[in-house]
């Protein structure tokens, strides 16, 4: 069991009060590294969601001024940094990621509050357009869209909510937040911080957890919820779009990816291998931005494969709480089965295992720890290239020229992240210009940052998180032409 000063309440939070499920039902939260129960949390449903929406609606009626909203954000940033160790510990225990990564995630989350704090004042101020048009002076008023529903996944339990709640609070939107069932404890800790440290109006932030379909259904059908921001699977994203249509509800969707990582023949191969290691193995490969298909130009394929195998075979898999762990466990048995299935499918279809374990040898007493694998001789028809693997498996695919790799990299319905490594900047940027991915990194494996808008093209989603664009998702612009001058 987990004991933490940030978790005196294992409960939801509605209208400024810690709340259990109406029916009293609870579910276990398990440490994926050890299989031990950490805690149990309420399983809430439609009725609690309706109450949370009503309380958020009341908060909307008493808006806070911009300076107050800015203060909220800086207070959360400061509290996250002060409590970094403890939040990181909770995160590490319920998610399994290595201690250092968990600590880094808390800092990353704090960077969103830091970035949006001043924008709470400047970006929401009315804006008068220069000159007169149609004999009017035009002013744009920036209003909060209204009550928002924020649904998050388990892979970044604190960062994913930071990307949503920081701009929501900056814009003045009350929210109802639903964490993923595997990782609700980090979210409860964040609510404890907000309850302790902030003077938020009643109902400004609400926490509801439990039956996803019921909670999601209420959020989508309620006329009092203006927008839902969701990060998760494409399947659920599609469902939410259907449910949004009757009310033409605003949606922010950050869905699946199938990221190509392209190594050109003029690339610095060590830099590319190092970039791939950081990119791929963060969160044990359970991130939507991590490389899913690694395309290596034929002339450097063998050399790159060797450098990669050297690095991957040294990785230490283990409990994220232990010193020296590079990769933690996968989140649950379904996640494990998917990665193993992709490995088996590729080997059956002719791929070769360059490092890692054969599928038959996996999971024998390993719990959820998956031995990182690199496979060569991969082609695009294999499952690991068609779907997001979400685990520590790197497929290497060789290609001949730039046109071919552009065509193959783009041969997916997804468009979230891509990576290009090559020394000739003009050549690499010609490639980037033709890739349909929202985040296209050059000579780095880095993911998003608070200052930059991040989001997917095509089936990877709608809207942006981070940057000014991420704030505008929560703002309704009202245009007022004034003819009285
Ligand atoms: P994953 O497969 O990575 O768990 P999901 O899309 O299932 O991705 O989950 C992401 C988030 O969406 C979680 O908080 C989950 O509980 C929630 N979710 C799942 N189904 C629904 C639904 N029908 N409506 C709203 N949220 C949902």
In the block, tokens 């929401």 appear at: 124
Angle between helices 184-197 and 66-82 (to 10 degrees): 120
> For the whole model, what pTM was predicted?
0.97
Cα(81)–Cα(77) distance, integer angstroms = 6
Burial 154-171 (b: 16+ CB within 10 A, else e): bbbbbbbbbbbbbbbbbb
Q: What pLDDT does 485 receive?
A: 73
Give SS3 for 341: helix
Q: What pLDDT does 422 receive?
A: 98
Per residue of the chain (485 residues), what is the pLDDT tens digit? 999 999 999 999 999 999 999 999 999 999 999 999 999 999 999 999 999 999 999 999 999 999 999 999 999 999 999 999 999 999 999 999 999 999 999 999 999 999 999 999 998 999 999 999 999 999 999 999 999 999 999 999 999 999 999 999 999 999 999 999 999 999 999 999 999 999 899 999 999 999 999 999 999 999 999 999 999 999 999 999 999 999 999 999 999 999 999 999 999 999 999 999 999 999 999 999 999 999 999 999 999 999 999 999 999 999 999 999 999 999 999 999 999 999 999 999 999 999 999 999 998 888 999 999 999 999 999 999 999 999 999 999 999 999 999 999 999 999 999 999 999 999 999 999 999 999 999 999 999 999 999 999 999 999 999 999 999 999 999 999 999 97
Evaluate: CB of 54 within 6 angstroms of ligand 1: no
Q: What pLDDT does 365 receive?
A: 81
Q: Which of 233, 234, 255, 389 has the most ligand 1 atoms within 8 A of CB, as the residue to mutate?
A: 233
Catalytic center residues? 254, 288
310 within 8 A of 426, measured Cβ to Cβ: no
Cα(60)–Cα(114) distance, integer angstroms = 24
Burial class (CB in 10 A: 0-12, 13-18, 19+), 315: middle
Which backbone phi and psi does 291 adopt, to 5 degrees? -55, 130
Burial class (CB in 10 A: 0-12, 13-18, 19+), 14: buried
Number of H helices, E strands in the chain: 15, 22
Evaluate: CB of 232 within 6 angstroms of ligand 1: yes
Q: Which of 41, 95, 151, 459 has the most ligand 1 atoms within 8 A of CB, as the residue to mutate?
A: 151
Q: What pLDDT does 238 receive?
A: 97
Q: CA gyration radius for the chain?
A: 23
438 within 8 A of 280, measured Cβ to Cβ: no
Burial class (CB in 10 A: 0-12, 13-18, 19+), 8: exposed
Which backbone phi and psi does 53 adopt, to 5 degrees? -65, -45
Bridge partners of 454? 465
- Tokens representing residue 154 in the block: 């388990």
Q: Of ligand 1's atoms, which has the minimum distance to the CA of residue 180?
A: 14
């Amino acid at each position: 069991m987990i004991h933490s000063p940030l978790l005196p309440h294992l409960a939801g939070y509605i209208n400024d009060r810690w709340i259990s499920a109406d029916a009293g039902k609870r579910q276990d939260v398990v440490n994926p590294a050890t299989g031990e129960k950490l805690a149990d949390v309420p399983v809430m449903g439609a009725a609690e969601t309706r109450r949370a929406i009503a309380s958020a609606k009341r908060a909307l009626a008493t808006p806070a001024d911009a300076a107050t909203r800015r203060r909220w954000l800086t207070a959360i940033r400061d509290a996250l940094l002060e409590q970094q160790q403890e939040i990181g510990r909770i995160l590490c225990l319920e998610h399994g990621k290595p201690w250092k990564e968990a600590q880094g995630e808390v800092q990353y989350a704090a960077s969103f509050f830091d970035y949006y704090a001043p924008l709470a004042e400047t970006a929401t101020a009315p804006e008068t357009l220069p000159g007169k048009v149609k004999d009017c002076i035009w002013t744009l008023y920036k209003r909060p869209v209204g009550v928002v529903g924020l649904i998050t996944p388990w892979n970044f339990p604190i960062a994913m909510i930071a990307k949503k709640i920081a701009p929501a609070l900056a814009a003045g939107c009350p929210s109802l937040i639903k964490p993923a069932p595997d990782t609700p404890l980090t979210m409860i800790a964040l609510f404890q911080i907000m309850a302790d440290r902030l003077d938020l109006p009643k109902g400004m932030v609400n926490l509801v957890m439990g039956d996803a379909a019921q909670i999601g259904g209420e959020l989508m059908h309620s006329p009092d919820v203006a927008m839902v921001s969701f990060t998760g699977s494409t399947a659920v994203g599609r469902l939410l779009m259907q449910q949004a249509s009757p009310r033409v509800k605003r949606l922010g969707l950050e869905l699946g990816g199938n990221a190509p990582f392209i190594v050109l023949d003029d690339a610095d191969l060590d830099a590319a291998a190092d970039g791939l290691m950081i990119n791929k193995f963060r969160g044990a490969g359970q991130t939507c931005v991590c490389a899913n298909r690694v395309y290596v130009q034929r002339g450097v394929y063998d050399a790159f494969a060797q450098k990669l195998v050297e690095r991957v075979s040294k990785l230490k898999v283990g409990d994220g709480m232990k010193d020296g762990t590079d990769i933690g466990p996968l989140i649950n048995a379904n996640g494990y089965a998917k990665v193993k299935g992709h490995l088996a499918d590729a080997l059956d279809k002719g791929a070769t295992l360059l490092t890692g374990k054969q599928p038959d040898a996996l999971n024998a007493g390993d719990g959820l720890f998956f031995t990182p694998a690199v496979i060569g001789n991969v082609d695009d028809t294999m499952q690991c290239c068609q779907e997001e693997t979400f685990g520590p498996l790197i497929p290497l695919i060789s290609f001949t020229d730039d046109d071919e790799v552009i065509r193959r990299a783009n041969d997916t319905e997804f468009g979230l992240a891509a990576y290009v490594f090559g020394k000739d900047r003009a050549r690499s940027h010609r490639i980037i210009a033709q890739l349909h991915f929202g985040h296209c990194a050059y000579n780095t494996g880095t993911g998003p940052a608070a200052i930059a808008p991040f989001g997917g093209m095509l089936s990877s989603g709608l809207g942006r998180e981070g940057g000014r664009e991420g704030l505008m998702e929560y703002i309704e612009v009202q245009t007022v032409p004034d003819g009285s001058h």
